[in-house]
Chains A and B, each alone.
Chain A
Amino acid sequence: GAVVSQHPSRVICKSGTSVKIECRSLDFQATTMFWYRQFPKQSLMLMATSNEGSKATYEQGVEKDKFLINHASLTLSTLTVTSAHPEDSSFYICSAPAGGRTGELFFGEGSRLTVL
């Protein structure tokens, strides 16, 4: 079964509104989670690293005021897309490290955001 649960799987919103995506680790604690974005026929691009109890680390070119990340507990990280625009329409995927030296990631199911 899934070890990382992501919700919602699909969301459609109007331009200018905000959308929150939740990512939960099931049966394990995740002090770190990664948020990726994937546009059609493109690779997964890391947006930010979510750290429990501290500020997220954003990749270059990702607006931290637009993509708000909160990692308030060891099992929950949220991504809020504020003032969404059609160009924010994408597939957003969260992941959590499996632990140890591997670097393996457990992925959530992904959230398909469509901004009208």
Chain B
Amino acid sequence: QKEVEQNSGPLSVPEGAIASLNCTYSDRGSQSFFWYRQYSGKSPELIMFIYSNGDKEDGRFTAQLNKASQYVSLLIRDSQPSDSATYLCAVSPGGYQKVTFGIGTKLQVIP
């Protein structure tokens, strides 16, 4: 069983629509949850992190966490072509312990 599971996509959405990206994880001891964006040939960059159940909003991005269901999601409102990238879900026990990444979901925003 993979520790962090994501649908690899591609997920195609029209410009201006909401993109919904999902992730499940297996380790119930996970405390920190991250969404990273990775453009082709580049290293990942942090979009959002979340620790507590519920929603966390930052601009056009909303992260949702449900620890009981071991489920994390990322919503991108008003999707733009520049949002086209691979979105990596990552989980960690926290602190200086290792971070485990999912395979990433490739998002394509169609102009």
Count of chain B residues with a beta carbon within 8 Å of a chain A beta carbon? 26
A-side contacts of B44, CB under 8 Å: 44, 93, 107
Choose among B34, B43, B93, B102 the residue that contacts A43 (Cβ–Cβ < 8 A).
Answer: B102
Q: Which of B8, B46, B88, B98 contacts A49 (CB 8 A)?
A: B98
Q: How far is the CB of B104 from chain A (nearest CB, A)?
A: 6
Q: What is the size category of the interface that chain A forms with chain B? A: 20 to 34
Least CB distance, B78 to chain A, in whole angstroms: 26
B88 and A43 contacting across the interface, CB-CB below 8 Å: yes
Chain A residues positioned under 8 Å from B96 (CB to CB): 32, 97, 103
Contact between chains at B43 and A103 (CB < 8 Å): no
With contacts A44-B88, A108-B43 known, what are 9 further pairs, Cβ within 8 A? A34-B99, A43-B4, A43-B88, A43-B101, A46-B98, A93-B44, A100-B95, A101-B94, A109-B42
**Which residues of A are in contact with B by a Cβ distance under 8 Å?**
6, 32, 34, 36, 41-46, 49, 91, 93, 97, 100-105, 107-110, 112
